[in-house]
Amino acid sequence: MQKAKAFETLRRCVSQRGSSLSHHRAFSAQPNYAQYDDVEDLVTVEGRAKSRAAILNRPSALNALNNAMAARLKRLYESWEDNPDIGFVLMKGSGRAFCSGADAVSLYQLVNEGNVEECKNFFETLYKFVYIQGTYLKPHVAILDGITMGAGAGIALPGMFRVVTDKTVFVNPETQMGFHPDAGASFYLSRLPGYLGEYLALTGDKLNGVEMIACRLATHYTLNARLAVVEERLGKLATDEPSVIETSLAQYGDLVYLNKRSILSKLEVVDRCFSHDTIEEIIDALEAADSYDEWCTTALKKLKEASPLSLIVSLRSIREGRFQSLDQCLAREYRISLNAISRLVSSDFFEGVRARLVDKDFAPKWDPPSFKEVSKDMVDCYFSPLSEFEPELELPTASREPFMQ
């Protein structure tokens, strides 16, 4: 029975991929901005001496990204890069979050309304912006004050300077919602010390600002109370020299001390448990190390709450990311994301969003419900090339050279 189900999954993946993602072509290929009050209000702009600041401005939604915001960010950054009067660019969020990631509820509603095309456009525009950010020709400063989640990290971490504070909370919660860490996450998480990236991707555990400095996700740390002074200083700079910006940020930086209970003080056991090739082996290793402290118990709980299929797909994505450039990671993540919204293999993304963000019963019914029911064909489907009817993600690698670090 299991083999028959796997075969049928693969057959559907091959035969329906094109039609499932492209049968709504009657919809405009451009994002539909009509549903938003004012596009310019969602990302506001501050002009400064020789810089510009993009401010994510949906505080009631923790600055979650929608189609209009991703498209506006891409347009702004492209125009600023071509403007010789602008030396550097800054990004920040309004309210208590930098950015809580993609607006998952909006994506959930779009697909349920039959508008797969606009959902696909969101991922395409977002990932193209991440690539622009990662290959940007001008210095970039991201102020990650407050919640920095999922794709919210993706639009900031590829940049040159990442400023964190005592209010920063970094997290990749995607597997808990039946999705995968995307927007470049398989690139930056796979480059963290040891197997910390796998741990963060699979469990959705949080890092604070000090921990982000320690593992080099961030470049500078300052107290939230000093941010106004830092921004005032940056706003007066008339430069395009990274060293001048670096000096200004360092001048207002604060010393950081890692808490002894931090996950970074447990890297040895993290590596021992999360270096395995399969989720089942990772769980076995955690259960064997359960006496270490409550950390193991919490990690096990998170893994057992997450989508089995998403965990397996995410682990493979992070592992492949270790050996790929940013553009290759984004192209793979694009395939995975389009498969997730197509429901060809599973509806776990929609079930996860329903359970956590819509109905909020926190009782998702994953399909498949267990690791043993996740076949290799199911997983391979997420990584396979898209059909001839569905173009792959096209990034300007000829004009903007990809990089590895």
- State pLDDT tens for residues 142-168: 999 999 999 999 999 999 999 999 999
Question: What is the three-class DSSP state of 38?
Answer: coil
The structure tokens listed for 350 are 């929609």
User: Residue 186: pLDDT above 90?
Assistant: yes
48-51: which pairs have CB atoms within 8 A and are 24 or more residues apart?
Answer: 48/234, 48/235, 48/236, 49/235, 49/236, 49/237, 49/238, 50/85, 50/86, 50/87, 50/88, 50/237, 50/238, 50/239, 50/240, 51/86, 51/87, 51/88, 51/89, 51/90, 51/234, 51/235, 51/237
pLDDT-based confidence at residue 49 (cuts at 50, 70, 90)? confident
pLDDT-based confidence at residue 16 (cuts at 50, 70, 90)? very low
pTM of the entire predicted model: 0.89
User: Residue 212: pLDDT above 50?
Assistant: yes
pLDDT > 90: what percent of the chain?
78
Task: Write the CA distances from 159 to 6, 97, 103, 112, 374, integer angstroms.
Answer: 41, 18, 22, 34, 37
The structure tokens listed for 142 are 């991201």
CB 197 within 8 A of CB 215: no
Name residue, tokens 């604060």. 254
User: Residue 291: pLDDT above 80?
Assistant: no
Name residue, tokens 């010789």. 84
Enter the DSSP assignment of 241. Answer: -
Lowest mean pLDDT among 52-56, 163-167, 268-272, 287-291: 287-291
Task: Convert the pLDDT of each residue in 364-405 to its tens digit.
Answer: 999 999 999 999 999 999 999 988 788 999 999 888 876 545
User: Residue 124: pLDDT above 70?
Assistant: yes
User: Residue 254: pLDDT above 60?
Assistant: yes
The structure tokens listed for 250 are 């360092």
pLDDT-based confidence at residue 276 (cuts at 50, 70, 90)? very high
> In one letter, which amino acid is 247?
T
| pLDDT given for residue 292 in this prediction | 56
User: Residue 4: pLDDT above 60?
Assistant: no
The structure tokens listed for 46 are 């501050």
Q: In what order do the strands lie in the sheet with 206-208?
A: 97-99, 147-149, 169-171, 206-208
| Count of C-beta atoms within a 10 Å radius of residue 231 | 19
pLDDT-based confidence at residue 20 (cuts at 50, 70, 90)? very low
- Mean of pLDDT over the chain: 89
Tell me if the bond preceding 158 is cis, omega within 30° of 0.
no
| pLDDT given for residue 252 in this prediction | 83
| Distance of alpha carbon 378 from alpha carbon 219, whole angstroms | 39
Map out the domains of the chain as residue ranges: 39-383
pLDDT-based confidence at residue 279 (cuts at 50, 70, 90)? very high
Mean pLDDT of 2-16: 48
Mean pLDDT of 40-58: 92
| pLDDT given for residue 303 in this prediction | 96
Mean pLDDT of 338-363: 94
Q: Which residue has the higher pLDDT, 58 or 15?
A: 58
CB 293 within 8 A of CB 360: no
Architecture of domain 39-383: Alpha-Beta Complex (3.90)
| pLDDT given for residue 403 in this prediction | 56
Give the total residue count for the chain. 405
User: Residue 193: pLDDT above 70?
Assistant: yes
| pLDDT given for residue 19 in this prediction | 44
- Residue 90 burial by Cβ neighbours in a 10 Å radius (0-12, 13-18, 19+): buried
CB 110 within 8 A of CB 66: no
| pLDDT given for residue 7 in this prediction | 44
